[in-house]
Amino acid sequence: MKSRTLCCLLAAVSVIATAGAVRAEEPDAEQTRRIMREVFGAIQRLLPASLDADRFADPALEPELRAALETLSQHSGRLAAHGTRGDQSFAFLSRSLARDAADIQRRFAAGRTEEARFLLHQITEDCIACHSRLPDADDAPLSSAFMDDEAFAALPLPERARFAVATRQFERALVAYEEIFASPAFDAGSIELLGELDDYLEICLRVKRDFERPARTFETFIARDDIRPMLADELRVWIADLRALGARDPIEGLAPARELVREAEEASPIRERREKHVRYHAASAALHRHLASLPAGDRRAAEVYYWLGVIESRVGRSFWLSETEPFLEAAIRLDPASPLALESYALLEEFVVAGYTGSSGEHVPPDVQAWLAELQSLILHASGEDTD
C-alpha cells in the first residue's frame, strides 16, 4: 500500500511538473467519449469473466482476455497522454487508470491471473472516482447496452453497484445500493465499513444533485435492527443536513462551498467529523462544478484544489486511490505565493507523514521527503520573490 501511495505521488508530480510546459493536446468531450467507449468495450468483456477465478484462468478464454486487456491498456494510455485538460484531478485519475491497466496487463501476461483478477476489481475505483465528480449531463446513451438485464442481475449486488457507476449507469447503481442497504444479507456493520453509504451519498449529491432521495434512503436504513447506535446518530445528522441543504438555494461557486467546509471543520474532534459528511460532500460537489467552469491554468483554481484536498483528507475512504495529495500539490504549484499554499503544505505534510507512521515510528522514504522539500522550497521561493 505504501509503495502504491508513493507511485501515485510520483506520477502526480510528473503530471503537474509538465502541466505548465508543453501542454499535451487536450481531448474534447467527443474524443473522451470515443476513448471511453473502447475502455468500456474492454471492461465489458473482462469484468464478467473476472468474477469467476476458474473462468478467468481458463486457457480457452486467454486470447480474448489478453486482447481486451491490450485494448484497455492502450486506450487508458491515450486518455492519460491527452488527459491534462488543465484539470489536475482528471490528469491524476487518467494517469492512475493508465498505470493500473498496464500493470494488470503485465500480470496477466506473466500468468499471474489471480493478481490480475483482483486488480481488475480495484481499477473500477479509477472509473468511479472520475465519473462521480460531476453531474450527469444526459443519460448516457450506452447505459442499457452495458449488459443485458439478465447478466446484470446475475452479478452479486455490491459488484452490480460498482460496475454500474464505473460505466456511468447511475440510476442502476443507486437502485443496487438501495437494495444492499435494505437487504438482511448484508449487515449494517460491513455496509458502513465498506464505505457504501458514502459512495451512495456522493453519487446522489454530485452526479444527481438530489438531496431528498438519500434522506429517505437513510431514514429506512436507520430503522434496521443491526445498526450501531452511534452510526444511527450520525445518520440522523446526515438526514437533517440533507433536508436543510436541499431546502436552500443550490450551492454554487467558491464562497458558499468554502463556508460549508469551514462549518464542518469547526466540529473538529475527529470522531464528530463523520457526521458532517453531507456538508463535505455537498461542498465538494459545488467545488468540482466550479473547477470545471474555470479556464485551464487559472490561478483561482488553487483555492478550489485546497478545499478539495481538505475534504478528501476528511472523507476519503479509499486506501487504494487517495486524491488528497494531488489536490494539495496542485494548490501549491498553481499559486505558491498564496497564503493557502502554506496551509496546503502543512496539511499535505501531516497527511503524508501520518501515512508512513506506525508503531515503530516515522518512515518517510527519501524520495517522498525530497518531493515534500521541493514543494516547500517552491513556497519559500515564491514568498521571497514577493517581498523583493
Task: Tell me how far apart the alpha carbons of residues 292 and 118 are, in angstroms, rounded to a whole number.
Answer: 33
Q: Does 159 bind ligand HEC (CB under 6 A)?
A: no
Q: Which is nearer to ligand HEC, 192 or 312 (CB)?
A: 312
Could you tell me if 160 and 172 are in contact, meaning their C-beta atoms sit under 8 angstroms apart? yes
Residue type, 243: R
Q: Does 137 bind ligand HEC (CB under 6 A)?
A: yes
Q: Which of 168, 172, 290, 333 binds ligand HEC (CB under 6 A)?
A: 168
Number of residues that bind ligand HEC (CB under 6 A): 25
Write out the three cell numbers for 271. Answer: 470522531
Q: Which of 97, 174, 203, 242 binds ligand HEC (CB under 6 A)?
A: 97
Q: Which of 68, 69, 116, 140 binds ligand HEC (CB under 6 A)?
A: 140
Q: Which of 8, 130, 239, 379 binds ligand HEC (CB under 6 A)?
A: 130
Residue 30 CB, nearest approach to ligand HEC (Å): 9
Could you tell me if 252 and 272 are in contact, meaning their C-beta atoms sit under 8 angstroms apart? no
Task: Tell me how far apart the alpha carbons of residues 206 and 113 are, in angstroms, rounded to a whole number.
Answer: 35
Q: Which of 39, 285, 304, 331 binds ligand HEC (CB under 6 A)?
A: 39
Q: Does 81 bind ligand HEC (CB under 6 A)?
A: no
Q: Which of 19, 40, 246, 302 binds ligand HEC (CB under 6 A)?
A: 40
Q: Which is nearer to ligand HEC, 277 or 288 (CB)?
A: 288
Could you tell me if 350 and 374 are in contact, meaning their C-beta atoms sit under 8 angstroms apart? no
From the list 129-137, 152-160, 300-308, 324-332, the region that binds ligand HEC by CB under 6 A is: 129-137
Q: Does 161 bind ligand HEC (CB under 6 A)?
A: no
Q: Does 152 bind ligand HEC (CB under 6 A)?
A: no
From the list 137-145, 281-289, 316-324, 376-384, the region that binds ligand HEC by CB under 6 A is: 137-145
Q: Which is nearer to ligand HEC, 93 or 176 (CB)?
A: 93
The number of CA neighbours under 13 Å toward the Cβ of 208 is 20
Q: Does 166 bind ligand HEC (CB under 6 A)?
A: yes
Q: Which is nearer to ligand HEC, 30 or 362 (CB)?
A: 30
Q: Does 33 bind ligand HEC (CB under 6 A)?
A: yes
Could you tell me if 341 and 302 are in contact, meaning their C-beta atoms sit under 8 angstroms apart? yes
From the list 134-142, 198-206, 238-246, 329-337, the region that binds ligand HEC by CB under 6 A is: 134-142
Residue 296 CB, nearest approach to ligand HEC (Å): 15
Which residues of this protein are in contact with ligand HEC, per CB under 6 A? 29, 32-33, 36-37, 39-40, 43, 83, 90, 93-94, 97, 123, 126-127, 130-131, 137, 140-142, 166-168
